[in-house]
Amino acid sequence: MTQLGTPVQGVTLYSFTRAFHGREIDLEGLIRRVAAEGYGPGLEIIGFSSFRGFPEVDDRFAGEFRDLVAETGLVTTSLAVNADIGIHRDRLLTQDELIEYMRRQIEAAAKLGFPIARVQISLTPDSMEQLAPIAEQYGVTLALEVHADQYASHPRILALRDRYEQVGSPFLGFTMDWGATVTGFAPSLLEAYRRRGASDELLAKVVDLWNAFYEQGPPADQAEHGQRFGAFIGLAAQNGRPDLGIDFGINGTGLFGPARVDDWLEIMPWIRHVHGKFFGIDERGEEPSVPVRDLVRLLVEQGYSGAISSEYEGWHWNNWESPFDIIAAEQAVQRSAAEATGSRMITDAAEARRILDTHLGKAVQA
Amino acid sequence: MIADRIIEHGTLSTDGDRASVEVRMPWYRALPGSCIAGATLAIDGVEAPAESLRWRMNGREFTFGELVDATDEWWFPSDSAVLSGDVAVATEAAEHEVSVQLTLYIPYIIIGDGETLHIEERDTKSMPARKAVAA
């Protein structure tokens, strides 16, 4: 029987985008607040969001950053990097350019002290195979994010998993994003649409449409994904709010993925990192549309002892509540769920470092 | 995504026949100049001619043609850029309606056959104009 996992609590600074973008708080202030208010110990950062000049990182900055992390008692978990294949407006990067583009960011992760680089779906199995020795050279695990509208059993993800198995590198894995396995259209987003004048009648239809897609399960392919996107646009147009159509489509298909929680079992042994994606907390203190308790139970029962970065995405539309309070409440749900499964979340920094070393070390020996 | 923040309040500036305004990125991560694909600037409903538009960031000024190849010049998400163009502003009016549209390419999201996702965001705000002070 698998030993119960002890996931490490943490947060991605992406959760605080509205405050950082609004210049209410700078990077150092944010890191200090994360530590002081106990959102860690795990700390995840998006390179291109938080580090000026990224992916160039000079030695002095890297030193200061590492000192700040050490001083505040946080533990760097994942540096989120991007495969900017479309950076030239008239053409895509060549394969050689793409590998070099990723190499620079993997090097930055190593320099800043992140053991994992989160990469994205635009990297093919061939690219991941080509990047494996580079990841190994820098000692950085590449964890490709499985994000709606994909999901664990999506053909593109299974193709990656099968290639990982063939390549056999311990430096290739996945980041599980909870947004792939959502159970409802987020109520806080409905509230935001209400504030933009959408009628209750229209919003009820949006919920019904999403629920129908949930019953059908995730889209089999990009064509079906496109049809669903179109259905949201059509619904908005038929109900006199064509201006909301694209927004319904983007969120209804790209944020709220309708796969079932146990779909994650398809790739479970390759999950190295988790984005605890969520959208809000209701008056009962629960996440109303992401099955946080079921997801934590699954991870604990499967023996997962990596980090879970709480990733609050409600900031896009929720400008009336503090993200700080909402994230604290979601992390309380995670801890409660781990305890209800007979385990616990790790919140002590020293223990988190040991657990994460073992988690990635275990991967190395696998 | 935070499109309501594109125009910075109180930054409309006029210098004879040119006007400028500070703009913020409606996105969460830095984008290179090459992904800033276009803009419009209108004051009180009068749009600046496209060829007169200039984009200033990181202390450098670009035409939109020059931005196409600017893959090494990054617009950081907490920085303002300055969008300027040929449009006369009547300084006697107390308030002006400023309207900006931005087209941004999102370089890591490929939506189809070699096609990169682009977003078009618009913001309109009212504010007084101040006379530009020579730098």
pLDDT in tens, A10-20: 999 999 999 99
**pLDDT at A365 (0 to 100):** 42
**Cβ distance of A87 and B71 shorter than 8 Å:** yes
Give strand pairing partners of A309. A10, A275
More confident residue, B47 or B15: B47
Selected for mutation to probe chain B from A23, A46, A50, A84 (highest B CB count within 10 Å) is A84
Inside any domain, residue B133 = no
pLDDT, chain B, mean: 92
Q: Which DSSP letter does residue B29 get?
A: S
B30 CB within 8 Å of a chain A CB = yes
Instruction: From chain B, pick out residues whose CB is under 8 angstroms from the CB of A18.
Output: 2
Chain A neighbours among B 93-112 (CB < 8 Å)?
105-110
Q: Residues B108-131, buried b or exposed e (16+ Cβ, 10 A)?
A: bbbeeeeebebbebebebebebee
**pLDDT grade, residue A1 (50/70/90)?**
low
Q: Using the predicted structure, report yes or no on whether residue A366 has a pLDDT greater than 60.
A: no
Which CATH code fits A8-181+259-365?
A: 3.20.20.150
Q: Which of A18, A90, A122 lies nearest to residue B108, judging by beta carbons?
A: A122
Q: Using the predicted structure, report yes or no on whether residue A130 has a pLDDT greater than 70.
A: yes
Inside any domain, residue B135 = no
Three-class secondary structure of residue B108 per DSSP: strand
**Cβ distance of A21 and B68 shorter than 8 Å:** no
A350 CB within 8 Å of a chain B CB = no
Q: How is chain A split among helix, strand and coil, in percent rounded to 5?
A: 55, 15, 30
CA distance B92 to chain A (A): 31
Q: Which DSSP letter does residue A221 get?
A: S
Query: Which residue numbers of A are catalytic?
Result: 147
**pLDDT at B110 (0 to 100):** 84
Three-class secondary structure of residue A193 per DSSP: helix
Pairing of strands B36-43, B46-47: antiparallel
Inside any domain, residue B131 = no
Q: What residues does CATH 3.20.20.150 cover in chain A?
A: 8-181+259-365
**pLDDT at B134 (0 to 100):** 54
Q: Using the predicted structure, report yes or no on whether residue A336 has a pLDDT greater than 70.
A: yes
Give strand pairing partners of A91. A88
pLDDT, chain A, mean: 96
Q: How large is the average pLDDT for residues A223-237?
A: 93
* Distance spanning both ends of chain B, measured CA to CA: 34
Instruction: Show Cβ contacts of residue B22 under 8 Å, excluding neighbours closer than 6 positions.
Output: B7, B8, B11, B80, B81, B82, B83
**pLDDT at A8 (0 to 100):** 98
**pLDDT grade, residue A293 (50/70/90)?**
very high
Q: Which of B5, B28, B68 lies nearest to residue A89, judging by beta carbons?
A: B68
Q: Using the predicted structure, report yes or no on whether residue B129 has a pLDDT greater than 60.
A: yes
HSE on the CB side for A266, CA within 13 Å?
Answer: 19
**Cβ distance of A49 and B5 shorter than 8 Å:** no
Instruction: Show Cβ contacts of residue A111 under 8 Å, excluding neighbours closer than 6 positions.
Output: A57, A59, A62
Q: How large is the average pLDDT for residues A312-337?
A: 96
B120 CB within 8 Å of a chain A CB = no
Inside any domain, residue B132 = no
**Cβ distance of A83 and B108 shorter than 8 Å:** yes
**Cβ distance of B78 and A23 shorter than 8 Å:** yes
B24 CB within 8 Å of a chain A CB = yes
Q: How large is the average pLDDT for residues A83-101?
A: 95
Instruction: From chain B, pick out residues whose CB is under 8 angstroms from the CB of A85.
Output: 107-108, 110, 116
Q: How large is the average pLDDT for residues A335-340?
A: 98
**pLDDT at A47 (0 to 100):** 98
- List strand residue ranges (DSSP E) for chain A, in order: 8-12, 42-46, 75-80, 116-119, 141-146, 172-177, 271-278, 307-312
Inside any domain, residue B117 = yes
Q: How large is the average pLDDT for residues A331-354?
A: 98
Q: Is the dihedral of CA B67, B72, B76, B82 positive or negative?
A: negative
Instruction: From chain A, pick out residues whose CB is under 8 angstroms from the CB of B107.
Output: 82, 84-87
Q: Using the predicted structure, report yes or no on whether residue A364 has a pLDDT greater than 50.
A: no
ipTM: 0.93
**Cβ distance of B29 and A82 shorter than 8 Å:** yes
Dihedral over alpha carbons A311, A314, A318, A319 (to 10 degrees): 30
Amino acid at A97: E
What is the tally of structural domains in chain B?
A: 1
Rounded distance between C-alpha atoms, residue A162 and residue A365, angstroms = 19
Inside any domain, residue B76 = yes
**pLDDT at B133 (0 to 100):** 65
Q: Using the predicted structure, report yes or no on whether residue A156 has a pLDDT greater than 80.
A: yes
A320 CB within 8 Å of a chain B CB = no
Residue with tokens 């990656």: A160
Amino acid at B102: L
Instruction: From chain B, pick out residues whose CB is under 8 angstroms from the CB of A23.
Output: 78
Q: How large is the average pLDDT for residues A349-355?
A: 96
Rounded to 10°, the helix A125-138/A155-167 angle is 50
Domain that holds residue B90: 3-126
Q: Which of A68, A77, A66 is nearest to A29 (CA)?
A: A68
The angle at the Cα of B11, spanning B8 to B12, to the nearest 5 degrees, equals 120
**Cβ distance of A92 and B109 shorter than 8 Å:** no
Q: How large is the average pLDDT for residues A153-177?
A: 97
Q: Which DSSP letter does residue A90 get?
A: T
Residues A349, A11 contacting (CB under 8 angstroms): no
Residue with tokens 């400028």: B20
